[in-house]
Amino acid sequence: MKTLKQAKFLKQEGNRIDIQCERDYVLHLFVLEQDIIRVAFTRKNSFKLDRTWAISPNCEDVPFAGRERFSTEGFSLPTYQLNFEHDVIEIVTEKLKVRVHQPLTLEWQYNKDGNWLPLIQERKTGAYLFGINNNKISHFIERSLDENCYGLGEKAGDLNRKGRRFEMRNLDAMGYNAEKTDPLYKHVPFYITRKNDVSYGIYYDNLAQCWFDLGNELDNYHIAYKSYRAEDGDMDYYVILGPSTLEVTKKYTALTGGTIFGPRWGLGYSGSTMSYTDAEDAQEQLKKFVDLCKEHDIPCDSFQLSSGYTSINGKRYVFNWNYDKIPEPLKMSGYFRDAGMQLAANIKPCMLQDHPRYKEAQELGLFIKDSESELPERSVFWDDEGSHLDFTNPATVQWWKDNIKEQLLERGIGSTWNDNNEFEIWDDNAKCVGFGKETPIKLIRPLHPLLMMKASYEAQKEFAPHQRPYLISRSGCAGMNRYVQTWSGDNRTNWTTLRYNIRMGLGMSLSGLYNVGHDVGGFSGDKPEPELFVRWVQNGIMHPRFTIHSWNDDKTVNEPWMYPAVTNIIRDTIKLRYKLMPYIYNAFWQSHQDLEPMLRPTFLDHEHDMKTYEETDDYLFGKDLLVASVVEKGQRQREVYLPQNNAGWYDFHAHTYYEAGQTVTVGAPLERLPLFVKAGAILPLSERTAYSCAKQDTSRELLVFPFIREGEATSTIFDDDGETYRYQHNGYLQLTLKLSCNKDSVNLNIQKQGTWTPAYNALKITLPETETRPLTVNGKVFKSGTELSLGDIKES
């Protein structure tokens, strides 16, 4: 590898500035927004991969064949200044300044109240290295000892990535250690740096295997640095100024296409286990789950059909039905549908060599090909060998869509669970069609799961165009947020996993993957003991995705009723989830509409409270609920730090008020999850705690947590049918709530928008029992617990 040093101005072309480097490299600087500048290198005026699938400004989708890499479509392309000073080329927007020095080094500054302050300084002893006899690339940035680093998607260990080294290489990491294992399933080369009260993000738009070193490495010949290294691909990255961490996350999420707004039922409890579909009488086992939910009064919205329904002699064969196990798929799916449960079927992108339809796929040319022949590549898969489908081939995409419709959707299974899609093909030069431009797998390995889920998404939309699709995917890359709900893969059953899965989920959320969760109870290992199971369920209901899923080593099944002694606690906990469903659904809407993360580290909303940067098991679910999960065996009291919000916090259960900025000790009996609500918040709740279906949701409570002294706050609550796209055509109900408190009264003003009529016709407005001030609603004196008719609320 060799350092690039030359930096000579070449030309200016609109919002792109080109700088000539040695060895036929050209540095391109794209001024995309006032706070987003892109840095990219070409050699001989071309990229190694001339398209991108991650970049989707304005939250639009990307074609299957990708977006032309030179394109700036969708960005505002603001005016900027281009200045020359001796050997320095300077580019200045209203918010960002980048100075290109000779030898080649970029220095970044940001504008704070009219003053330009340092943001990023690249390593002066070599910022960019490019391979001579190989395709490796490296980027080095100076680091300070007081900075924190967050993001990188799905990573084990502490939320602050500082001082550690990480690899991006999609793997099927079954039974991983949530504190230490690396790499895992997803490829998200994006991280956030926080220092000196400012945050910035860097996203490397490269799908090749790569490493991040955020302070683990030391070299006596260089000042302290952090680095990005890739085996191949393009040096192409985006610098995103916050200045807050929340703003960095939101801007990055917008850059990669936003969050899909799926159906409301996708937020309900979803049952799953490998055991049912692996059983010889799978259809009966599946029906029994429906019956037991009813028997134990467990609300459930969906079930994830594991891959055993496709099995032949214990191995999995996608799009193959085992009619011995499930003789009547339509009858089986109808049984779930009649119980109000949706089905999502597991599908895999690799066909084993003895798959009944392998020859068909081979003759159609649907597989990725071996690097040294025209035969399909062969990779280890499910204790055998198989070949992976090539989703850069339009014929494969169409075949996949056709089979989803014929094998699943027409059989009453309306959703897809895209699984085992890490594409572990280690013949680096295995050949992909590349939409007409043959491409080695090493350049696009994580792209295949993205295109797989896009194909599944389009099949579902084509089959039921008025229904919002629900999809799941385990693996993927930046941009998967446009299509799916995801989870942290096949975790191991223990207390350590419970603790570190929380931090893993927060890291994913900071990286634009908002709709996330974990396998509650643990996927692999022995079954969870009763106490661990209870605490895991309590934590699970406070994530966007709530699924109990398992493949226990001892052949047991994680089910809500697995321990009769605690079944009542599990039932009440799941019902709490449904009571909170209007709040959760509103947070989901905000993640789609306003790019707000659903899972939020406490520092995200309290950046100037230094104590929130300490590693913690606490987090916010939505903007208003502080979750203090119990992750230690035998713990029955819990210390909780209440971030300084200048308003205070209420205990959700007892409605006790606490001043902010202090650590309190609260009771944590086995049957209760410690929860706190921000003062000034208004929680929408459902009194019908068994439904997420809008047609059955016949009650609505607004639980008002007033400011204890003086304060004002405005919030909105969104609701709709939870299934269709009618919300795009005014078919929704949105309440705008203005809360104003003083020492003498609590005042609430409510206005509404939208034409949708919910099943509930009134709002029950409730104050904490400890609140003695009079309540006025829309100018009229109101008694706590009284209902306000929706018809009496004025349009805003």
In tens, the pLDDT along 148-198 reads 999 999 999 999 999 999 999 999 999 999 999 999 999 999 999 999 999
Whether 59 shows a pLDDT value over 80: the answer reads: no
User: What is the percentage of the chain residues whose pLDDT exceeds 90?
Assistant: 97
Mean pLDDT of 357-386: 97
Q: Which helix (H) or strand (E) holds 416?
A: strand 415-418
Residues 6+ apart with CB under 8 A from 784: 765, 766, 767, 771, 775
Do 138 and 62 lie in one domain? The reply is: yes
In angstroms, the CA 712 to CA 647 distance is 10
Residue 186 within any structural domain of the chain: yes
Whether 654 shows a pLDDT value over 80: the answer reads: yes
Contact 509, 482 (CB under 8 A): no
The pLDDT confidence band at residue 29, using thresholds 50, 70 and 90, is very high
The neighbouring-strand residues paired with 667 are 637
pLDDT tens for each residue of 422-459: 999 999 999 999 999 999 999 999 999 999 999 999 99
Of 213, 232, 255, the residue at which a domain comes to its end is: 255
Helix (H, G, I), strand (E, B) or coil at 308: helix
Residue 118 within any structural domain of the chain: yes
Of 678, 698, 726, the residue at which a domain comes to its end is: 678
Q: What region, left, alpha or beta, does residue 648 occupy, with left being phi > 0 and alpha being psi -120 to 50 degrees?
A: left
Residue 668 within any structural domain of the chain: yes
CATH number for the domain spanning 173: value is: 2.60.40.1760
User: What is the percentage of the chain residues whose pLDDT exceeds 70?
Assistant: 100
In angstroms, the CA 778 to CA 749 distance is 5
Whether 280 shows a pLDDT value over 90: the answer reads: yes
Structure tokens at 479: 């941009």
State the helix-helix crossing angle for 495-510 and 245-255, rounded to 10 degrees: 70
Whether 414 shows a pLDDT value over 80: the answer reads: yes
Mean pLDDT of 775-792: 96
Residues 6+ apart with CB under 8 A from 79: none
Do 655 and 639 lie in one domain? The reply is: yes
Contact 743, 676 (CB under 8 A): no
Contact 632, 611 (CB under 8 A): no
In angstroms, the CA 266 to CA 289 distance is 18
CA-angle at 375, arms to 373 and 377, nearest 5°: 95
In angstroms, the CA 410 to CA 282 distance is 20
The mean pLDDT value of the chain amounts to 97
Mean pLDDT of 564-570: 98
End-to-end CA distance of the chain: 62
In angstroms, the CA 623 to CA 608 distance is 17
Do 11 and 145 lie in one domain? The reply is: yes
Whether 591 shows a pLDDT value over 90: the answer reads: yes
Mean pLDDT of 60-82: 96
Amino acid 555: pLDDT: 86
Amino acid 58: pLDDT: 78
Whether 690 shows a pLDDT value over 80: the answer reads: no
Contact 109, 123 (CB under 8 A): no
Mean pLDDT of 537-562: 95
Helix (H, G, I), strand (E, B) or coil at 607: coil
Amino acid 410: pLDDT: 98
Residue 175 within any structural domain of the chain: yes
Q: Count the Cβ atoms, other than its own, within 10 Å of residue 320.
A: 16
Q: Which helix (H) or strand (E) holds 359?
A: helix 358-363
CATH number for the domain spanning 649: value is: 2.60.40.1180
Distance of CA 700 to the CA centre of its chain: 29
Of 649, 678, 707, the residue at which a domain comes to its end is: 678
Residue 551 within any structural domain of the chain: no
Structure tokens at 224: 């302290």
The pLDDT confidence band at residue 231, using thresholds 50, 70 and 90, is very high
Q: How many domains does the chain have?
A: 3
Do 671 and 696 lie in one domain? The reply is: no
In angstroms, the CA 591 to CA 585 distance is 10
Mean pLDDT of 530-549: 98
349: closest CA among 302, 382, 313? 382
In angstroms, the CA 61 to CA 65 distance is 12
Distance of CA 503 to the CA centre of its chain: 13
Domain that holds residue 738: 682-792
Residue 565 within any structural domain of the chain: no
Count of alpha carbons within 13 Å of 395, Cβ hemisphere only?
12
Name the residue with tokens 């280690």: 426
Amino acid 105: pLDDT: 98
Contact 564, 556 (CB under 8 A): no
As a whole number of Å, the CA-based R_g of the chain is 27
The pLDDT confidence band at residue 766, using thresholds 50, 70 and 90, is very high
Contact 340, 693 (CB under 8 A): yes
704: closest CA among 780, 789, 616, 774? 774
Using omega within 30 degrees of 0 as the cis cutoff, is the peptide bond preceding 243 cis? yes
Number of H helices, E strands in the chain: 12, 55
Contact 452, 445 (CB under 8 A): no
Do 706 and 634 lie in one domain? The reply is: no
Amino acid 687: pLDDT: 86
Residue 558 within any structural domain of the chain: no
Do 630 and 728 lie in one domain? The reply is: no
Mean pLDDT of 542-563: 94
Do 656 and 746 lie in one domain? The reply is: no
Contact 343, 349 (CB under 8 A): no
In angstroms, the CA 252 to CA 567 distance is 42
DSSP letters for 444-497: HTTHHHHHHHHHHHHHHHHHSTTBPP-EEESSEETTGGGT-EEE--SBBSSHHH
Residue 576 within any structural domain of the chain: no
Whether 10 shows a pLDDT value over 80: the answer reads: yes
Count of alpha carbons within 13 Å of 119, Cβ hemisphere only?
27
Do 750 and 613 lie in one domain? The reply is: no
Do 176 and 135 lie in one domain? The reply is: yes
Contact 606, 637 (CB under 8 A): no
In angstroms, the CA 456 to CA 472 distance is 10
In angstroms, the CA 236 to CA 528 distance is 45
pLDDT tens for each residue of 513-539: 999 999 999 999 999 999 999 999 999
Contact 409, 429 (CB under 8 A): no
Do 184 and 49 lie in one domain? The reply is: yes
Helix (H, G, I), strand (E, B) or coil at 275: helix
Contact 676, 647 (CB under 8 A): no
Mean pLDDT of 779-789: 96
Do 649 and 788 lie in one domain? The reply is: no
Contact 205, 239 (CB under 8 A): no
573: closest CA among 630, 525, 620? 630
Do 243 and 153 lie in one domain? The reply is: yes
Mean pLDDT of 255-260: 97
The pLDDT confidence band at residue 691, using thresholds 50, 70 and 90, is confident
